[in-house]
Structure formats: C-alpha cells, structure tokens
Structure 1
Amino acid sequence: MLFSVDFSIRVNESFQTVHWAFIPAESVTECREVAQEIKANLPESQKHQVHIFIEQ
C-alpha cells in the first residue's frame, strides 16, 4: 500500500504541514516506523513538536 504522511506542527490551535511524504508499506505499523525515522531527521524546535498524520 502507499500511504500519504503529513508531518505538521501545531500553531495557534491549528496544524501546519512542515513536510509530507508518500511511504510504501505493508501495514500502518510499518508506515509509522518509517515515518518516525523521517521525523527524527526533521529539524524540531523547542517551541513546536512535529505530529505525524497517516492517510491510506
């Protein structure tokens, strides 16, 4: 399956995309693992946490 993944930060009660990717994976669990690896390579400030949103 091909998953669309949004990496977003929350600013003033709304989410703003900072990065997105298409991730080929056999399951949501596998996709989440790959997304966590991508997230680890994204710059993250002390003020904002990066959230992951996965769509099929």
Structure 2
Amino acid sequence: MIADKTPAPQPAAHVRTIESAEIFRGQSEIVIRHEGFTYRLKITRQGKLILNK
C-alpha cells in the first residue's frame, strides 16, 4: 500500500519562499555560512534535505 503524502503547511504570507532548485542550481549539496559557522545542505537520494554542521 502506498502512503498518501500530506501537503506541507503553507508559510505565512510574510515569510520569503525560495524553491530548492534556485538554491541548488543542479547540484546536490551546497555550503551555507551563518554567524561564523559552515553548514552543508544536501539532497538525499530519496529527495529529502539534510543540514549538517
């Protein structure tokens, strides 16, 4: 049996929304610098996102 995916909650109107395709630009991993720390945001084979410090 295939489980139905429930739609993700919609962000509030004032929250900026960016499509992941804009961020990744064909890559499967990006680096984000935030307050002196480096984070890696990855797309898994299953299409999920993982953020590592």
Please report the TM-score for the alignment, with normalisation by the length of structure 2: 0.23
Larger RCO (alpha carbons 8 Å, 6+ apart)? 1
Structure with more strand by fraction: 1
Please say which structure displays the higher CA radius of gyration.
2
